[in-house]
Amino acid sequence: MAILVNRETRVVVQGVTGKEGRFHTSAMLRYGTKVLAGVTPNKGGERVDGVPVYDSVREAVERHPEINTSAIFVPAKSAPDAVYEAIDSGIKTVVVITEGIPIHETMAFVKYARYKGVNIIGPNCPGLISPNKSKVGIMPANVFSEGPVGIISRSGTLTYEVALNLTNAKIGQSTAVGIGGDPVVGTQFVQLLDMFRGDDETSCVILIGEIGGDAEERAADYIRRTNYNKPVLAFIAGTSAPPGKRMGHAGAIISMGVGDAASKIKRLSGSGVRVAQRPSELVRMTREALGLTT
């Protein structure tokens, strides 16, 4: 039934009355996502595209107890408090779109979320989508289609490019998750690979990584250690980046011989993952992994 978001997803949007919150709430509603409530302190009683606005998440959940997911569009200085509010209100999936949150703040709420058994997606992420079921965040829905390929990505734009190429080739996706480009994020490749492992709708997984950190290396070790039960393909962005140079995301920095593209590609390849040299190659590789005829 896909992972994290599906037809049972019920959403509250924190920061719903802001410019970004309004815009993307409307987009989620048009896609069919069940957005039941919005939250902005001191704006209770208003409506955004028919969605009732409350002063707190707790009030929203009391009025709509079926809410199980939050999308956070709150400015960086207030976003950590918004995450804690969502967690303490019993919400189990929290999608943090906000960028610019200090790393130490992210580390604290990610640790708290794990203690509470809550999935944090992000921060600084485009969110996630299970095509024809639900989308939570800012992903452009028109590039996705329903099918058997799971996508986990550190890059929003590369997610859209790969999904569009697959869709144009009539290869759909089960769930696409943008985990975020910050040095610390809530849910990593390993946790999502584990979720896709048990998903009957997913037959193949694509990892879209980039330089910086060791998330891809840890994913490779997990795939090898568990004898992963589905084919995994990958693309690593930043092969030409010089050591010590940050490219794009805050987390995309190479230092002290850790996090360069070559090491990631070597570790993934050594674990049986086929790594594309260019994103466009993933269509052909996915066809082969799924046993589809050209």
Residues with active-site annotation: 249
How distant is the alpha carbon of residue 7 from its chain centre?
A: 17
* Helix, strand, coil percent content, the chain, rounded in steps of 5: 35, 25, 40
* SS3 (DSSP) at 116: helix
- For the residues of 151-216, what is the DSSP string, one character each? EEES-HHHHHHHHHHHHHTT--EEEEEE--SSSS-SS-HHHHHHHHHT-TT-SEEEEEEESSSSHH
DSSP lists the bridge partners of residue 137 as 127
Q: What is the largest CA-CA distance in the chain?
A: 57
Tell me, what DSSP letter sits at residue 249? S
- Angle CA(150)–CA(153)–CA(157) in degrees, nearest 5? 115
Q: Which two tokens stand for residue 201?
A: 């709708």
**What's the rounded Cα separation, in Å, for the pair 228 and 214?**
19
The answer to whether residues 159 and 140 touch, using CB atoms and an 8 Å cutoff, is: no
Q: How far apart are CA 42 and CA 44, in angstroms?
A: 6
